[in-house]
Structures are given as structure tokens and as C-alpha cells.
Structure 1
Amino acid sequence: MRIVVAGGGLIGARHIAHVADHPKFDLVGVIDPDPKVRAAAPVASFVSIEAVDVPVDAIIIATPTDLHAANAEAAAKRGWHMLIEKPVAGTLEQAERVVAAVERAGVTALVGHHRRYHPKVQALKTALDAGRIGSTVLASMIWAVRKPDEYFDVPWRAGRAGSPIMINLVHELDLLRFLFGDVIHVSGFGSGVLRGQGRIESGGVTLGFANGPVATLAFADTSPSPWGFEAGTGENPNIGTTNQDMLWITGTKGSISFPSMTLWEGAEDWSQATQPNKMAIAEGVPLVAQLEHFADVVAGRATPLIDARDAAKTLAVTLQIEAVLMGGQGQ
């Protein structure tokens, strides 16, 4: 499959490397308006989707979120299948534009919530669906990092658009939706007192799910900690690995912690102590697994693990949390 990558930022660079290294894919171009990014491209580079003049089967859209809809429309006009980085778009209206463009052109769109492909996430989903801990009751998650000061040298990151909710928590929220289903209730409180740039930088969220579970999520991008998906799993080379759990789930028959995949079982009630049992899970690279799934979807061998319509549901919850926390932000 001949692939062009649009966007050469942090995640775009990872896509470029994975496509270039994979024997089943042919990286044929990099698209970015920045001449420095184009100059560093390992293949032909272009300033826009419209400027691409080589044969292309599919595009990975890793541009800023607010450009996703316009990029998807341009790619659809060229008949390219697309893998769109998360979130699918910046607003629900933009997400609808993505859905309409894809359906109008008859092309495939997969959205890059790549944590769904992590082997431990897949194993966790299988264990929950199989009833290993009974019916899910509660979940508690922590995502806390300290972003370096130079991260905010990019102007938009220093303002409201740089909120970790849309940039980072969208991953955690999609993971919870993948595990537990649709969200029907959101509440929470946010704070922005440390950097003082009018952006949410930390907070706590409570989520209610249609089939019963309640989850809490505490987050911050101002606090170094061992707790977070990237730190716990080691899946992001830009974030230090700690191998510590960051998600704890309780059920009617037991509990499980992630990513250690420790099952706590064997207690009928509080008079007995649950006993730990670690599940052995094979290693894998989520972005590569996502890329291979994308190829299967394009070839008609699989249905999208998350298409634009499903991704719009994650976006809706994320936007709702952003609004709730901005409304109750502590100063």
C-alpha cells in the first residue's frame, strides 16, 4: 500500500518511521507546510494534499486537529483511504464533515485511537467481556505528567487550545469508552493555577456509563508522576517508562489493575482477602498494529475498530468534559 503522511510533528514523525520500516507499506510522500519538515523528509515532500503528484492509495492525517476535516475532504476528493489521528476533528460539526466526505467518496476512514490496539488493552477488554471480574462496578484512572517548558513554546499550546483534555485525555476517554461503552453522565472540576495561561492543566472527572459502571479520572500535565498510560506501558518513546499501574477496575467477582494485568480474585466478601494473579501478555507496538489493521480494513478483510462516527462519540464526551471543567475552573 502506497501511503503519504500529512503532518511531521511528534506523532507524524512516528507514523513516518513506522510506515517506512514496514515491509508491507511504501512511504511515498510527506506533506507539511513547514519547509524544515519537508527538507528532513526521507521521501518526496509536498506543501499540501493538492500538490501531491505521485500515486497514493492512502493517507495518514497527523496535522493539527482543527485541520482534520479540511484534510479529510481534500483526501476524499482524491479517492484516498485515510487514517486520521485522534481526535477525529476539533468540533462535532467538523466531525460530521469528515463522515460526510468519507461516505460521499466511498473511501475508508480509520481514526487513530491507537491504544485500542495495545496487546494489554486487547487482553483487558477480553477479560472484562468474558466476565473474569464479574460485572464491572468501578474504575479509577490517573494520568499525570509534567510537560517540559519548551513544549509551550508553540503558541497555541500555551492557550486554551493546549488543554491536555483534547490533546491527551481524549486517549484515556476513548480507552474507557472502549472498555465500558457509552458515557451518559459527566461531572468534574478543573484547575489552571500553576501556569496561569487560561487553560485547564489539571482536574478530576467522574463518568457514568449506560450499562452501570462509574469511573473517576484524575489528570495533570504539571505534575511528574509514575502514573499514566505512556509511563505504565512504555508505548511512547518520548515519555519515561515506570511500569506502574494507572487504571484499577473492580467488579462483582474480583478486580484488575492495568497495565500490570493483575487479577485480584478468590474473595466472596470482605472477610476474605483477594489473591493476585498476573496475566502473561505478549508484547506489541500499538501504532504498528493499527497500521496493519488499517491495511486489512482497506482490503475489505476487517471492519474499522473505530471509524469516524464512533470517534465522534469520544469527541463529544471530550468536548463535554472540556466545557464542564472550564465552567468550574479554579483560579
Structure 2
Amino acid sequence: MNSLRIAIAGAGLIGQRHLELLQASRSCEPVALVDPAPAAREVAERAGVPLFPSLEALFEQARPDGIILATPNQLHVEQALTCLQAGVAALVEKPVAHTLEEGERLLAAARGSRVPLLVGHHRAHSPILAQAREIIRQGSLGALVAVMGSALFYKPDDYFDAAPWRREAGGGPVLINLIHEIGNLRSLCGEITAVQALASSATRGFPVEDTVAISLCFANGALGSFLLSDTAASARSWEQTSGENRDYPSYDDEDCYLIAGTGGSLAVPTLRLKCYDQPEDRSWWKPFTCEVAELRREDPLALQLEHFCQVIRGEAEPLVSVRDGLQNLRVVEAIARAAREGGVVEVAQD
């Protein structure tokens, strides 16, 4: 099988990580870097690929099989539209757009095009999440009733010193971190239809939130609660429990999600499962059968790249479509609004 030729737009940290994965892949190879910044030249030279100042300049000289858009959020939609016009498949880093309006514009264009777009919610490619989804699909938990989740971690001071905008509105964990969790919860439990939220900035005293308590309503009738904080000295976050990103210490005695149904419950990511032997004779007086499902860890970013290659070859449909990426953004924006205004905020569906 011929190696696919993939270009990368954006020479920042995530772009360089994608470049490393391309260099290690047997399915594809890097053929170009797109970035107007002077520092990008050194990155391109190390990788041994030509550097272009824009997508238009790249497409004038070459036509890669696909392109990864690892650029600032506000560039995602325009660059994805450029790829659609050029007929080049694209992997658009999350969030799919910097505003809901721009996301709607891209969704309309994507629906009218045969060029595939994949949105880079890489956790969707996690084997742990895939196994959890399968356990739920098989009906082991019965009808879903309740979901508890958390993303509790501590960001050091230099995180904010390196980018002072993170201390201001829009720089908190709701708009930076929560979209990952929403993608996970939607993939596990279905669509989120309404939200409530309380936010606090009491710990750091920044203009932006540092801690948020969220209530979720799912389309299947299940209810959820979620705690989010970037100032909590806790390991109850996906990165610190899944063990998929080796940059973070991991603790296998912790979970960040608990999904409970009428017949049992599943802790994620440890995949500890508790179910009744006889669902027709359920009671809190009855013991559970306890087991741990098979656990497989692989780098979701590497798996996402292989999936992107399958999408380019027409062997698979995008696991995370533009519609999925936009829906994650809709939920996050609804939570941000609920935290500002109070009350229940309905999440738009299409």
C-alpha cells in the first residue's frame, strides 16, 4: 500500500506532535509544513519538508492526499473551507470553530461536499473509551440512569505566566478543557440536551472561573453531574487516570467517570464493572458481581492518524464529524452561558 502524503498547517506544539507521528507511521508521511511564522523554518528543516506560508501557496505547487490543521482556533473554519475547495481531506484540530456561527458555516459547507473532514477530538479513538462504549451498548448496565464525572487537576503558576490571556474571560477550564470531557460523555452516554452550572473564581481570584459544578440532562433521560477545576490538587482527570499520555503521572486507583444504569455500573477508565447476577431480583441488599473488563492502552493521537488515513482512502467514515465537533462546542457554550446567567440552558440539536 502506497504511503499517503500528508501536510501539516501549524508548527506549534500540537503541530510538531503530529509531525512526529507522521514520521513514525507506516501508512503516511509528511510532505509539507504550512506556517508563516519565522520559527517554522527550523521545524520544516528538521523534518526535511518544504515550508509554505499559506494553504493557497501549498495548493498552487502540490496536492497532498490530506492535511492536518493544527493552527490557532480562529483559523480552523477558513482553512477547512480552503481544503474543501481544493478537494483535499483535512483533519481539523479541536475545537472545530472559535464560534458557533463559524461552526454552523463549516457544517453547511461540509454537508454539501464529498471531501471528508475529521475533527481532532483524539480521545474518541481511545481503546479504553471504545471498550466502555461496547460494555454500555451490550446492555450490561441496563438503562442508563446517572453519570458522575470529574476533571480535577492543578495548573501551575507558569501555565498562566506563559499566556496571561488564560487569566481572563475565555481562558478558564470551561472553554479550554471541558470540550474534551463533553466529547467523552456524549460518546458514552448519548446527546446532552440541557445544562445548569455554577462557577467560582474564589481560589485564584482571576476574572475567569477556576472551578465549575455542572448538571447535565441526556436525551435518554439520564442525569449527570460533573466537577471541573484547574486549581484542585486531585488526580481525578482523564489524563491522570487513563495512562494514555505519558507526559502526565497516572494513578490506577482513581477513575474520572462513573456510569450507572438499572442493572449495574461502570467506572472509567479502570473499567471496573459491578452488575447484578439476576437483574429481575435487584436490591441494595443483594451483592454485585464484580469484574474488571479487559484494558488496552494505546496513544489515541496515533490511532487518530491511522483512522485519518482510512478516511482518506475511503475505508472509513470520520469517527468525529464536523457535526460532532460542533455539538461538543454547543454544549460547552451552553455551560458557559448557564454559569453566567443561571437557570437551565437548552442545548441546540440538529
Please, what TM-score do these two structures have when normalized by structure 2? 0.88
Give secondary structure in 2 for the equivalent of 1:162.
coil
Equivalences for 1:149-160 in 2 at 5 Å? 149-152=157-160, 153-160=162-169
Name the structure 2 match of 1:312: 326
Paired residue for 1:47?
53
State the Cα distance separating 1:139 from its structure 2 match: 0.9
Question: Measured at CA, do residues 149 and 265 of structure 1 come closer, stay the same or move farther in structure 2, by a change above 3 Å?
Answer: same
Kindly indicate whether residue 275 of structure 2 is the aligned counterpart of residue 272 of structure 1.
no
Contact 1:144 1:228 survives alignment (8 Å): yes
Q: Any idea what SS the aligned residue of 1:176 has?
A: helix
Does 2:300 align with 1:297?
no
Q: Residues of 1 paired with 2:112 and 2:219: CA distance?
A: 32
- 1:159-187 superposed Cα distances (whole Å, 9 cap, x missing partner): 22222222211011111111121111100
Secondary structure of 1:175's aligned partner:
helix
Structure 1 letter corresponding to 2:79? N
Kindly tell me: are residues 210 and 144 of structure 1, through their superposed partners in 2, closer, same or farther at Cα, counting changes over 3 Å? same
Superposed CA offset, 1:97-123 (max 9, x none): 222443455311011111111111001
Larger deviation, residues 317-326 vs 238-247: 238-247
Tell me if 1:35 matches 2:38.
yes
Separation of aligned partners in 1, 2:259 and 2:75: 36
Residue of structure 1 equivalent to 2:78 = 70
Contact 2:63–2:88 under 8 Å retained in 1: no
> How many pairs does the alignment contain?
328
* Residue of structure 2 in register with 1:61 after alignment: 69
Determine the structure 2 residue equivalent to 1:22. 25
* 1:258 equivalent in structure 2: 268
2:126 corresponds to: 118
Aligned residue number for residue 174 of structure 2: 165
**Other structure's SS at 1:190 match:** strand
- Alpha carbons 1:69, 1:94 under 8 Å: kept: yes
1:164 and 1:201 in contact (8 A); partners too:
yes
Give distance in 1, aligned partners of 2:87 and 2:179: 28
**Alignment deviations for residues 74-106 of structure 1 (CA, whole Å, 9 cap, x no partner):** 222322111111121111111122224434553
Kindly, what percent of the aligned residue pairs are identical? 36
Q: Deviations over 1:277-325 (max 9, x none)?
A: 1111233221121111112122221112121022211111111111111
Contact 1:32–1:48 at 8 Å: present in 2 too? yes
Given that residues 107 and 323 in structure 2 are in contact (C-alpha distance below 8 angstroms), is that contact kept between their aligned partners in structure 1?
Answer: yes
Matched-pair contact (CA < 8 Å) for 2:146–2:261: yes
Taking the aligned partners of 1:327 and 1:33, their CA distance within structure 2 comes to 40
Of 3, 6, 14 in structure 1, the residue corresponding to residue 6 of structure 2 is: 3
For structure 2, the residue ranges without an aligned partner over 5 or more in a row are 343-350
C-alpha distance in 2, partners of 1:38/1:168? 30
Structure 2 residue aligned with 1:242? 251
Query: Partner of 2:347 in structure 1?
Result: none
| 1:160 partner SS | coil
What is the RMSD of the two structures over their aligned residues, measured on CA atoms? 1.8
Separation in structure 1 between the aligned mates of residue 249 and residue 35 of structure 2, nearest angstrom: 28
Compared CA separation, residues 164 and 32, structure 1 to 2 (3 A): farther
